[in-house]
Amino acid sequence: MTATRPLAQYRVPPYIISMSHTIKEKNRLLARVRRIKGQVEAVERALEAEIGCTDVLQLVASVRGAVNGLTVELVEDHIRHHVVDPAREPDPEKAQGAAELIEVVRTYLK
């Protein structure tokens, strides 16, 4: 990609705009994204240098792990802030269900 499009040109669903909890974690999330960007650039460099497929596959696996980690963090925050926060839910069944859902997401994406 040679040119960067202004952010306004991307279609953003309305519910994303109001995610204030994401803004609170902005620096941490951006740091994760920047690490992922660096890993993707390493894959690009490896392909340009024509290194062995095993090494490229290991780099891609690292990218996948990093993206999954970011996804887990975002989904967990979404559950806690927009569905049910297990730590603050007075109904023990709902709290347990939310905690179990968070754990399943962690397990599935790791």
Please answer whether residues 39 and 59 qualify as being in contact, where contact means their C-beta atoms are separated by less than 8 angstroms.
Answer: yes
H/E run at residue 18 = none
**Per-residue pLDDT reduced to its tens digit, 72-101:** 999 998 898 888 999 999 999 999 999 999
Structure tokens at 36: 């992922």
User: What pTM, to 2 d.p., does this model score?
Assistant: 0.72
Please answer whether residues 66 and 110 qualify as being in contact, where contact means their C-beta atoms are separated by less than 8 angstroms.
Answer: no
Q: Exposed (0-12), middle (13-18) or buried (19+): which is 79, by Cβ within 10 Å?
A: middle
Q: Where are the alpha helices (DSSP H) in the chain?
A: 14-17, 20-24, 26-48, 53-78, 92-109
Query: What's the CA gap between 28 and 107, in Å, rounded?
Result: 22
**Per-residue pLDDT reduced to its tens digit, 49-62:** 999 999 999 999 99
Please name each of the domains of the chain with its CATH number.
Answer: 17-109 (1.20.58.1000)
